[in-house]
Structure 1
Amino acid sequence: MATREALWGYRDRFGDAFGRTYFRRFGPGVVSSVGIGTYLGEPTPAVDEDSRESIALALRSGINHVDTAANYRCGRAERVVGDALRDAPVDREAVVVATKGGFLPFDGERPADPSAYVRERFVEPGIVDPDDLANGAHSLAPAFLEWSLERSLDRLGLDAVDCYYVHNPETQLAVRSREAVYDALEAAFETLERRRAAGDVGAYGVATWDAFRLPADADGALSLAEVLGRAEAAGEAVGPDDDHGFEAIQLPFNVAMADAFTRANQPAPPGSDDEGPVSVLEFAHEAGLSVVTSASVGQGDLTVDGAIPADVDATLAGDTPAQRALNFARSAPGVTSSLVGTSDPDHVRENVAAGTFDPLGASAFDAVFE
């Protein structure tokens, strides 16, 4: 697991090469504000090799935040992350490793009949109960998350992960009420609290797509305030004190998907000066939660000339559209780290170089939306 000493040591090794606030507080220490994601790419040996090379390059170039999930690339992504960590000339304790559980993963390749695979691999052996499934492929059941975490640790070849996300809990809203989803999350958090106490998980959170970006009354919306409250209840239930390990959220954020900053859809946090609703970024900041952005360059859509509106583009630092798009995401107040998925070493170098430019200050970022 990452340690304070090793994380700060990594910052001391690389920090002088980067711009202001490149390394930011996370967990026991600091983490690079550019992270490498592992979502994209076909489940093939060729992509495995390219991804392994890209992650290793990132780790030895100033990126010490790697994000993956049990289901990414049919389970291959976690294996590649583990291989890269073992081969990189960087201590494991200097790297924040995050993974996710919730979606039922394939094993190395896409099956010809996914429904039959789920039935034979998960339902019949009793790993999941059909009643817990949403869209035939997603579960928040504690027993399934336990199983998923164990498999993730095995694929990664690690004793522990630094952050374990419950993956897209809003998927469950397709088959059950919002209150039932909150209840399921609380049960899941109790499981993760026990795994945190056992030393298998450093912290946990939720990785979402729609849940925290939509209007509060939208069908797919969840309240971060309620989710945090359920984590607090889980921490109190598991004990031995009333602390909890809910420390991070992940959500899409980029110049074309800025809802997390522009939409006031969360209640004002207790003790806040705000009287009305606030954005999810503001709520997370006030609550002391780390925010990790996914789709930081729009899964590649924002890396071409003209994709960023000209007036916004002119305010951003960077030599390429990809660098400026990435610097928009990591400039948002309250953002800890912005992920970019790539298996191309040249893109890794480009993303690393984005961190040599200073992000926008809070006032300048606010001015973009005026």
Structure 2
Amino acid sequence: MSTYVASEDRYERLEYGSCGNSGLNLPRISLGLWQNFGGDRDFEGQRRILRRAFDLGVFHFDLANNYGPPPGSAEENLGRILARDLKPYRDELVITTKAGWVMGPGPHQQGGSRKYLLSSLDRSLERMGLDHVDIFYSHRPDPDTPLEETLMALHHAVVSGRAMYAGISSYGPTLTRLAAEIMHDLGTPLIVHQPSYSMLNRWVEDGLLDVASDKGMGVVAFSPLAQGLLTDRYLDGTVPADSRAGVGRPSWRDNMLTEPVLERARALHEIASRRGQTLAQMAIAWVLRDQGPRTVTTALIGASSVEQLEQNLAAVENTHFTDEELSDIDRWAVDSDVNIWWGATASKG
């Protein structure tokens, strides 16, 4: 078995910068292991994707306890790849995980309780073969658990050494502000928020980006391709057999692929073509566009192949948009009922 040696110019390939007011740096594009790194996917293909990502400057790998399928298998596979290939580079990597959504049966396998969050973190570390992660997130707000209990668990994860930093995901602006203030008083600031954000899902522009900026939090935008709708896969109205819709992924709803959504995607595709980009590249670039203090820190993408990874990373070659382009995009970039996380987002502001 050949020994993996990382590319020497890996930090010259992709820009990176500070996550909020912290000293933690993240690349402009990061790799999420949500959809394509479970036990149902080819392991050697996963190794190729992760090694190529690191060679191209992607050192941030994002997970959650329930990523798979089956739940937990993405963390197990990352642990295997770390052991075989990336262990010598552990101190260069930013590895993150989350807990909050359903992991198993019973009342203590979901939510925001201290019991669930900390026991889940311990199991995540075991699966990945690590003694700490770099960021541990509350994956969603839990209306059945006091916010203070959830945040005390994040605080304890950091002070106990199991996580370097703490973050939250899918919290609305009001709750985010309150959470940031509580964590500041505890002495463990929230350094990052991870919301869904795309041209078809713009809820973060209604206050959340302002709150994150005001509280010194970085923003890790997930699902910038709107579950694949902002790619060329569905433009002709058919569903490829190997797509998320085709294989019936839990993240896909049948009402997503409507004629109004297709009309918007086709119009955006034409704008992307005029920019010399694919629709996916423009969608990622748009999420990363300059919004002043509200600018997103990193876009979190998935990848089912090395080729797809390389193509989408090329989005950073042009993240500048003219006023005319932004105006054209705004005609078609409207909320399209693709935010499958909205129930949790809205539940506590």
TM-score (norm 1): 0.69
| Residue aligning to 1:231 | 183
Separation (CA, whole Å) in 2 of partners of 1:316 and 1:335: 24
How do 1:158-307 and structure 2 match up within 5 A?
158-169=130-141, 172-173=142-143, 176=144, 181=145, 184-208=146-170, 211-212=171-172, 223-233=175-185, 235=186, 243-261=187-205, 263=206, 279-304=207-232, 307=265
Does residue 154 of the first structure (1) align with residue 126 of the second (2)? yes
Change (3 A) 1:283 1:346: same
Cα distance in 2, alignment partners of residues 321 and 362 from structure 1: 17
Q: How much does 1:49 deviate? A: 3.8
Q: Give the SS at the match of 2:122.
A: helix
Would you say 1:343 and 2:339 are equivalent positions? no
Match among 70, 82, 87 for residue 84 of structure 2: 87
Report the equivalent of 2:240: none
Give the SS at the match of 1:319: coil
Letter aligned with residue 326 of structure 1: I
Q: Alpha-carbon deviation of 1:301?
A: 1.1
Extract unaligned runs of 5+ from structure 1. Answer: 1-9, 107-117, 129-136, 217-221, 236-242, 264-278
Aligned to 2:260: none
| TM superposition shift of 1:231 | 1.9
Gaps of 5+ in 2: 1-5, 236-263, 332-349
Mapped pair 1:30 → 2:2: no
Separation (CA, whole Å) in 2 of partners of 1:58 and 1:258: 27
Against the structure 1 CA distance between its residues 352 and 366, is the aligned structure 2 distance closer, same or farther, given a 3 Å change threshold?
closer
C-alpha spacing 1:159/1:286, structure 2 compared with 1 (3 Å): same
Which residue pairs with 1:44 in the alignment?
39
CA drift of 1:47 comes to 3.9
Report if the CA contact (8 A) 2:197-2:223 is conserved. yes
Q: Secondary structure at the match of 2:26?
A: strand
- Partner SS, residue 41 of structure 2: helix
Question: In the alignment, which of 63, 72, 75 is matched to residue 68 of structure 1?
Answer: 63
Could you state the TM-score of these two structures normalised by the residue count of structure 2?
A: 0.73
Deviation at 1:317, TM superposition (A): 5.3
Secondary structure of 2:72's match? helix
